[in-house]
Amino acid sequence: MRTRKFHAEAREATSGFLFALPVILGLLVWVIAPMIGVLLISLTDWNVLKTPNWVGISNYVKLFTTDLYFWNTLKVTFYYVVLNTACATLYSLIVAMLLNQKIRGRGIYRSIFYLPTIVPIVASSALWLWLFNPDFGLFNVMLRGIGLHKSLWLSSQTTVVPSIVLMSVWGGAGNAIVIFLAALQGVPRELLEAVEIDGGNWWHRFRAIMLPMISPVTFFNVVTGLINSFAIFTQSYVMTNGGPNNSSLFYVLLLYREGFQRNNLGGAAALSWVLIVIVSILSLLIFRTSRRWIYYEGEQR
Amino acid sequence: MRRRFFMTAVITGAFLLLIALSAGTAAPVTIQYGYWGDQNEEISTTALLKTFMDKNPNIKVEGLRFGSNSEFNDKITTLAASGNLPDVSTFYEPNVLTWGMNGQFVDLTDFYKKAAPKLDTIKFVTPDGKIVGISVANEIMVIWYSKTIFDAAKLPYPPAEASKAWTWNQFVDVAKKLTKDANGKTPNDAGFDKDNIKTFGYWGQQWWMPWLTFAVSNGGGMVSQDGKKLMMADPATIDAIQKMADVINVHHVSPVPGSQQMPGAIGTALLSGQVAMALDGTWDLLTLGTTKEQQGLDFGVGVLPYMKKLATTSVGTPEVVYKSTKHLNESLALLGFLMDPASSLPLLQNGIWLPNEKQWYTNKDLLQKWIGNPRHPPEYKTAVVDFALNYSNRLPLYYVPSFAKMDDVIEAALGQVWLGQKSAADVIKNEIMPKITPIFQGK
């Protein structure tokens, strides 16, 4: 029966829908539609220069069987992702804990640690290239100064990924630090004091109270860190071009090269979708295993 | 009612008259020219286009600048996909032939038959014989060196004439005498500390131009000039690459390859005494000349050393005309203008370009126009002009469509050779050849 209440509810529902419409449209037009478009391209042999032909899943098959770079790229990217996420999470947690203390000039220190995040990556890549120079760069000068052997940094297959991780952690940890800081400040004071009264030191405080209390935030930083690490591109594009010997040929760099320099858009599109699947599976795994170690306040365990 | 009809008729009539009048005058044709470069190049290119437009009042040229050659690559691909290609543009060299073979460029063979003869080493020719572009400039490899360091070591400068060119061994000997570690010792002295070198004898690079140049000098190469035979595994090629790697790891006169070199670094490197010589392209004259004028760098230029025969190679970005252009005649007019060295005289004079036409190397009056200025050192004529004219070779870039894909494999694998981890023979025979042979054969 069309009561006044029904009309009012219907009007509310309609206006709610209308308010949400821009976001929904945006998602459809700028995210969903291109993703479907890329999927369709990946099923063709399009190279921009001639009309595309349907080739079914042959681009995907080629990737996994005959492609010269795919498996190496996966290996190298995974290595970077794991190393970078671990180092970045550890680093930002430690720095956040240090910045959480009541020291003078706390605000200045916090700004300093956040600054690297706003330096443009291309500019800082140019600078770090000089720092890493095996013969004249500052890092090797410092190493020599304290009596250590010089490192080849970006010029050696074994040290190139750790070098890029060093640079990424310096430049990208700012956001994670801020978020960890907020979480640390949300830890209830009385719990920490309870540990002190019971005779525990800072390690007990950390392990028994702080770590569990910030575990949801740790989880967030790990997941976003992982997803962002997969997108590593600029540093290898500007500094190493995938070398030496493809040991820094990261996934997105390969994708870019295939699509825009070798005009193999079908193959590049296939690479994109494989990446989507990999990152989705990884995120799913982390979500599944998260219940074991994340503690949400108020839960009974 | 009648009044309204009358007014409508007058207005419509006036309107139609206006249309008829404007249709009578010829509208200028607008074409788009794409190019990459920084702000300085934007200024010089805009001036160039303005000169063209002054000479051709019925053609209007819109300049479309890309930030760099890699940005050019992304954008031109996108423009091709959306059907918005410019009419004329420079082009990313490794992709010229693949695009040409896919029918993207106008066949310029007939056009160039009527123009002044261009150098043969810089013509992009598809396997079926079509010229799809010619480099707008001819850049070769030479030795740049710091006169200050040579004077301090009391050694004669690198030769500036082909007849006096050093052999590779003579070159390495000189480099050894100039390499100094933190204690002032050279690789010839006992107690030389190879991990603490302050000055390197020479700075080389490891992209395709240097090693291809020396492979050719040694009697080898990557692909035969007729495009049919893969020469990468020839003993001469392997030997050349090994010699270049030994300079780094055995003789210690050249630095370990840093990743991507920064532009402008050669001026700093020579000025600060990090290196005594550099084997690099003629485009460096712009940087070195500026460093000399602003910071007093005393530099000179010499001919390359040779392994078995005198050789250098040429590169240069081409100008292409897109098949999709709607104004072919106007585009060809712009092409002719851009390809004429007389149009780009400022760029020839400031040292960044060499001309693409033979007569500009041989005719005394034309020569004076571009090298008769303080920017060009006195030995430039013999060390660069004559050397380029007589000893330059055509790189596979210009006639092998699969060059870029093969170089992806080669550049990556050779990294191990430059670091001294593996021998050139091992890497080329076992890692490179199996991968590039199918690519070369088009599979």
Contact flag B77-A259 (C-beta cutoff 8 Å): yes
Domain ranges in chain B are 29-138+316-393, 141-314+402-440
What pLDDT sits at residue B150? 95
Chain A, 56 to 75: residues with Cβ < 8 Å from chain B are 68-69
Least confident stretch, A1-5, B33-37, B374-378:
A1-5
Enumerate residues 6+ apart whose C-beta is below 8 A from B231: B215, B220, B221, B222, B223, B224, B237
Name every chain A residue with its beta carbon within 8 A of the beta carbon of B413: 245
Which amino acid does the sequence have at A192? L
β partners of residue A54: A44
The answer to whether the Cβ–Cβ distance between B74 and A260 falls below 8 Å is yes
Range B18-31 average pLDDT = 68
pLDDT digits (tens, 9 = 90+) for B38-79: 777 788 889 889 999 999 999 999 999 998 777 888 889 889
Q: Residues B93, A261: contact at Cβ < 8 Å?
A: no
- What is the mean predicted confidence (pLDDT) over A256-274? 92
pLDDT of residue B259: 52
Instruction: Determine how many CB atoms are found less than 10 A away from the CB of residue B441.
Output: 9
Amino acid identity, position B278: A
3-state SS class at A105: coil
Give per-residue burial for A193-217: e unless 16+ CB within 10 Å, then b.
eebeeeebeeeebeebbbebbbbeb
- In this structure, whether the domain defined by A69-293 belongs to CATH 1.10.3720.10 is answered with yes
Q: Do A135 and B274 touch (CB under 8 A)?
A: yes
Residue B284 has phi, psi (to 5 degrees) of -65, -15
pLDDT digits (tens, 9 = 90+) for A84-107: 999 999 999 999 988 988 888 888
**Which residue type occupies A156?**
S
Backbone angles phi, psi at B78, to 5 degrees: -65, -45
State how far the Cα of B291 lies from the Cα of B295, in Å rounded to an integer. 5
Q: DSSP E strands: which ranges in B20-173?
A: 29-36, 59-66, 88-90, 123-125, 131-135, 139-146
List chain B residues with CB under 8 Å of A265. 77
B99, B196, B405 member nearest A49 (Cβ): B99
Q: Quote the CA–CA distance of A50 and B100 in Å, as a whole number.
A: 12
User: CB within 8 A of B401, min separation 6: which ones?
Assistant: B97, B98, B101, B126, B127
- Predicted confidence (pLDDT) at residue A296 exceeds the cutoff of 80: no
Is 80 exceeded by the pLDDT of residue A295?
A: no
For chain A, what is the total number of helices (H) and then of strands (E)? 16, 0
Instruction: Determine contact: A136 vs chain B, CB below 8 A.
Output: yes
A residues 277..296 contacting B (CB < 8 A) = none
Report the DSSP pairing between strands B392-393 and B123-125. Answer: unpaired
Residue A97, chain B, CB below 8 Å: the answer is: no
Task: Provide the residue ranges of all domains of chain A, joining segments of one domain with +.
Answer: 69-293
Residues from chain B that touch A263, judged by Cβ atoms under 8 A, are 77, 95, 98-99
Q: Which residues contact A132 (CB under 8 A, 6 or more apart)?
A: A139, A153, A154, A163, A239, B258, B259
Q: Is B77 on the interface with A (CB under 8 A)?
A: yes
Inter-chain touch B259–A50, beta carbons under 8 Å: no
Task: Report how far residue B229's alpha carbon sits from residue B256's, in angstroms, rounded to the nearest whole number.
Answer: 32
Give the Cα separation of B300 and B148 in Å (integer). Answer: 10
Q: How far is B27 from chain A (nearest CA, A)?
A: 32
CA angle B302, B303, B304 (to 5 degrees): 120
**Cis preceding linkage at A244, omega within 30:** yes
Tell me what ipTM this predicted complex has: 0.81
Residue of A nearest to B196 (CA): A135
* B-proximal residues of A, 8-47, CB under 8 Å: 47
CB contact (8 A) between residue A126 and residue B262: yes
Averaged pLDDT of chain A: 89
Is-contact A259 A265, C-beta < 8 A? yes
Q: CA-to-CA distance for B257 and B111, rounded, in angstroms? A: 43
d(CA B103, CA B323): 7
The C-alpha angle A113, A117, A123, rounded to 5 degrees, equals 120
Average pLDDT, chain B: 90
pLDDT (mean) for B261-267: 68
Contact A241 B80 (CB under 8 A): no
Confidence of residue A301 (pLDDT cuts 50, 70, 90): very low
Query: In chain A, positions 230-269, which contact chain B (CB-CB < 8 Å)?
Result: 238-246, 249, 257, 259-263, 265
* Amino acid symbol at A235: Q
> Which residues have C-beta within 8 Å of that of residue B356, sequence separation ≥ 6?
B118, B119, B122, B134, B135, B136, B137, B138, B316, B339, B341
Average pLDDT for B406-424: 93
Question: Which chain B residue has its CA at the smallest distance from A67's CA?
Answer: B435
Rounded to whole angstroms, what are the CA distances from A17 to A96, A126, A182, B288?
41, 48, 34, 65
| Cβ–Cβ below 8 Å for B260 and A129 | yes
Phi, psi of B118 (to 5 degrees): -95, 160
B259 and A261: CB-CB below 8 Å? no
Query: Contact at 8 Å (CB) between B393 and B369?
Result: no
Give the pLDDT mean for A18-41: 94
Q: Does any CB of chain B come closer than 8 Å to the CB of residue A48?
A: yes
Which residue type is seen at A237?
Y
The dihedrals phi and psi of A253, each to the nearest 5 degrees, come to -65, -45
Closest CA to B353 of B283, B293, B252: B283
Condensed to tens digits (0 to 9), the pLDDT of residues B329-358 reads: 999 999 999 999 999 898 899 888 899 999
A119-127 contacts at long range (C-beta below 8 A, 24 or more positions apart): A119/A171, A121/A171, A121/A234, A121/A235, A121/A238, A122/A234, A122/A238, A124/A167, A124/A171, A125/A167, A125/A234, A125/A235, A125/A238, A125/A239, A126/A238, A126/B262
A183-192, B129-138, B307-316, range with the lowest pLDDT: A183-192
Token pair recorded at residue A114 = 């956040």
Chain B nearest-CA distance from A129, in A, is: 8
How many whole angstroms separate alpha carbon A224 and alpha carbon B176?
Answer: 52
Q: Do B415 and A126 touch (CB under 8 A)?
A: no
Q: Does domain B29-138+316-393 have CATH number 2.60.40.10?
A: no
The answer to whether residue A51 neighbours chain B at the CB level (below 8 Å) is no
Contacts of B70 in chain A (CB under 8 A): 261
Domains B29-138+316-393 and B141-314+402-440 share a fold: yes
Is some CB atom of chain B closer than 8 A to the CB atom of A201?
A: no
Contact B258 A133 (CB under 8 A): yes
Interface contact flag, B412 A126, Cβ < 8 Å: no
Q: What is the CATH number of domain B141-314+402-440?
A: 3.40.190.10
